[in-house]
């Protein structure tokens, strides 16, 4: 049974969600004041005045979902279909994307960023971390546009921005200075990319990234596609630098494909280093053979978050924008069938990113940000295996999506 905090009996609220089922199977009335959850009240408890009441009729209420890794500036959902053109290597895709950008000058909101945000919100995502390219083609233009988009969507979505050196740092001369400027402009984190595979200098690349993070007091999120011994050595180096710099809880390694190449003994050593340093792993649960052993990492105590990564762009034509669908991909990939295993997939899109990335409420609890989603389901396992869309999305205390009654053609009350 969820521990329900009882506020003063006469404390009013702006929005009340009555007869809500919580993830542990208990029932509660959820009171919202401003952009925060004010109280969880036991069924039958006295109810003070509410500005608006929505009777959920036993619908399952969960915290808003977090997408820990997406690329708003790359998305092409607003354009006609573009066949996937590049193949063979990360460098080949980078070159293809830069050629596309030189030939296409469409505002990012129209190109697909706005459409992607709309889809994400409808699917229950209320917080996200987006990487924004900083290279010799985009310079700081993409960052300026995404900063503007973040401001316009701030009433609905919590958005973190990573200044991301998609073309590398050492081999792309303007980037080091532009990353510094990006952090002054308002980027929340500094990114990195394949220090050996792209820049050919692990220490040189990481020197720049960690120096910028320490200078500006920001976190780090590094894309690491490198596999095998080189990739594992880079993960170890990132963990060591994180501990030395006192950046525990502020560093994420995205993708970390090399972890799929480690035997269990080596994985145990790396997990110990990651835990000691306070480094999180972010995975999009990719296909093929390069998916990190997510369940084993979790068992070893490593915090793992999920993200969508690429959505209809030069890197990937796929259009999976729902974090519920992402959790279902993990269930499919790892053959998870029991209710306990399925329910555990909620953590990488709620509690873990709240703790490690500072994104989302993480839980339905008094004092938490009032980002809440409701499903017509008997529990979390059903939501995941059926890839359900929420019937109600509350963002920052306001109703953002309301599908109640849509199935039978009746408008929501």
Can you tell me the distance from the alpha carbon of 239 to that of 247, in angstroms, rounded to the nearest whole number?
Answer: 10
Does any domain span residue 31?
Answer: yes
Residues 309 and 392 in one domain: no
Is 90 exceeded by the pLDDT of residue 88? no
Can you give the pLDDT at residue 307?
98
Can you tell me the distance from the alpha carbon of 109 to that of 107, in angstroms, rounded to the nearest whole number?
Answer: 6
Beta bridge partner(s), residue 395: 398
Does any domain span residue 1?
Answer: no
Is 70 exceeded by the pLDDT of residue 407? no
Residues 41 and 183 in one domain: no
Residues 117 and 220 in one domain: yes
404 close to 376: Cβ distance less than 8 angstroms = no
101 close to 314: Cβ distance less than 8 angstroms = no
Q: What is the CATH number of the domain that holds 28?
A: 2.30.40.10
Least-confidence region, from 179-183, 259-263, 315-319, 364-368:
315-319
Is 50 exceeded by the pLDDT of residue 389? yes
Residues 328 and 292 in one domain: yes
Residues 86 and 168 in one domain: yes
Does any domain span residue 407?
Answer: no
pLDDT band at 2 (very low <50, low <70, confident <90, very high): very low
Residues 388 and 351 in one domain: no
Residues 55 and 118 in one domain: no
Residue range 140-166: mean pLDDT, rounded: 98
Q: Quick count: other Cβ atoms within 10 Å of Cβ 23?
A: 18
Does any domain span residue 312?
Answer: yes
Share of the chain above pLDDT 90, in %: 90
Residues 150 and 234 in one domain: yes
End-to-end CA distance of the chain: 30
Least-confidence region, from 50-54, 101-105, 187-191:
101-105
How far does CA 105 lie from the centroid of its chain? 27
Does any domain span residue 408?
Answer: no
pLDDT digits (tens, 9 = 90+) for 58-74: 999 999 999 999 999 99
Residues 108 and 180 in one domain: yes
Is 50 exceeded by the pLDDT of residue 4? no
Does any domain span residue 411?
Answer: no
Find, among 403, 367, 373, the residue nearest to 64 by Cα: 373
Beta bridge partner(s), residue 131: 162
SS3 20: strand
Least-confidence region, from 85-94, 233-242, 267-276, 385-394:
85-94
Residue 121: CB partners within 8 Å, gap ≥ 6? 156, 157, 393, 395, 400, 401
Can you give the pLDDT at residue 378?
95
Can you give the pLDDT at residue 406?
58
Can you give the pLDDT at residue 50?
97
Residues 285 and 395 in one domain: no
Least-confidence region, from 22-26, 316-320, 382-386:
316-320
Residue range 132-146: mean pLDDT, rounded: 97
In order of 32, 37, 297, 404, the CA distances from 16 in angstroms are: 6, 10, 39, 16
Residue range 196-219: mean pLDDT, rounded: 97
Does any domain span residue 90?
Answer: yes
Q: What is the CATH number of the domain that holds 189?
A: 3.20.20.140
Residues 196 and 282 in one domain: yes
Can you tell me the distance from the alpha carbon of 158 to that of 295, in angstroms, rounded to the nearest whole number?
Answer: 28
Q: Quick count: other Cβ atoms within 10 Å of Cβ 334?
A: 16
DSSP β-ladder status, 27-33 and 65-70? unpaired
Can you give the pLDDT at residue 409?
43
Q: Where are the beta strands (DSSP E) in 271-359?
A: 279-283, 304-306
**Given the structure tokens 């995975």, which residue do they identify?**
283
Beta bridge partner(s), residue 20: 28
Is 70 exceeded by the pLDDT of residue 412? no
Give me the domain span that covers residue 250.
65-357
Residues 249 and 199 in one domain: yes
Domains: count for the chain: 2
Is 70 exceeded by the pLDDT of residue 83? yes
Average pLDDT, the chain: 94
**Given the structure tokens 């290279």, which residue do they identify?**
135
Find, among 234, 235, 244, 179, the residue nearest to 209 by Cα: 179
In order of 34, 39, 45, the CA distances from 9 in angstroms are: 18, 10, 9
DSSP 194: -
Can you tell me the distance from the alpha carbon of 131 to that of 162, in angstroms, rounded to the nearest whole number?
Answer: 5
Does any domain span residue 3?
Answer: no
SS3 336: coil
Can you tell me the distance from the alpha carbon of 182 to that of 161, in angstroms, rounded to the nearest whole number?
Answer: 10
Report the predicted TM-score, pTM, of the whole model to 2 decimal places: 0.95
Q: What share of the chain is helix, strand, coil (3-state, %, to 5)?
A: 35, 20, 45
DSSP 258: G
Is 50 exceeded by the pLDDT of residue 413? no
């Amino acid at each position: 049974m969820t521990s329900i905090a009882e506020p003063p009996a006469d404390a009013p609220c702006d929005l009340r969600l009555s007869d809500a089922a919580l993830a542990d199977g208990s029932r509660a009335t959820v009171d919202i004041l401003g952009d925060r959850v004010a109280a969880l009240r036991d069924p039958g408890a006295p109810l003070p005045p509410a500005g608006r009441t929505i009777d959920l009729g036993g619908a399952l209420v969960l915290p808003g979902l977090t997408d820990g890794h997406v690329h708003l500036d790359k998305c092409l959902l607003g354009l006609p279909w573009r066949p996937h053109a590049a193949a063979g290597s990360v460098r080949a895709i980078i070159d293809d994307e830069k050629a596309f950008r030189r030939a296409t000058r469409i505002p990012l909101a129209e190109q697909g960023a706005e459409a992607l945000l709309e889809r994400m919100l409808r699917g229950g995502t209320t917080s996200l971390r987006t990487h924004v390219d900083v290279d010799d083609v985009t310079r700081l233009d993409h960052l300026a546009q995404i900063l503007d988009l973040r401001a316009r969507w701030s009433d609905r979505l919590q958005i973190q921005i990573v200044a991301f050196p998609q073309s590398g740092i050492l081999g792309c001369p303007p980037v080091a200075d532009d990353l510094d400027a990006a952090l002054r402009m308002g980027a929340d984190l500094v990114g990195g990319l394949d220090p050996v595979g792209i820049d050919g200098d692990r220490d040189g690349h990481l020197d720049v990234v960690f120096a910028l993070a320490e200078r500006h007091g920001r976190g780090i999120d590094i894309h690491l596609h490198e596999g095998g011994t080189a990739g594992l050595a880079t993960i170890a180096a990132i963990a060591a630098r994180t501990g030395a710099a006192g950046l525990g809880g502020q560093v994420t390694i995205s993708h970390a494909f090399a972890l799929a190449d480690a035997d269990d003994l080596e994985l145990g050593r790396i997990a110990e280093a990651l835990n000691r340093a306070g480094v999180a792993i972010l995975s999009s649960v990719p296909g093929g053979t390069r998916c990190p052993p997510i369940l084993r990492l979790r068992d070893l105590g490593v915090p793992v978050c999920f993200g969508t990564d690429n959505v209809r762009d030069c890197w990937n034509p796929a259009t999976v924008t729902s974090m519920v669908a992402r959790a279902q991909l993990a269930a499919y990939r790892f053959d998870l069938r029991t209710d306990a295993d399925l329910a555990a997939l909620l953590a990488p899109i709620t509690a873990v990113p709240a703790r490690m990335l500072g994104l989302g409420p993480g839980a339905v609890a008094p004092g938490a940000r009032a980002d809440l989603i409701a499903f017509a389901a008997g529990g979390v396992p059903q939501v995941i295996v059926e890839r359900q869309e929420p019937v109600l999305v509350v963002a920052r205390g306001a109703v953002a999506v309301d599908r109640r009654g849509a199935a039978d053609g009746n408008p929501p009350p």
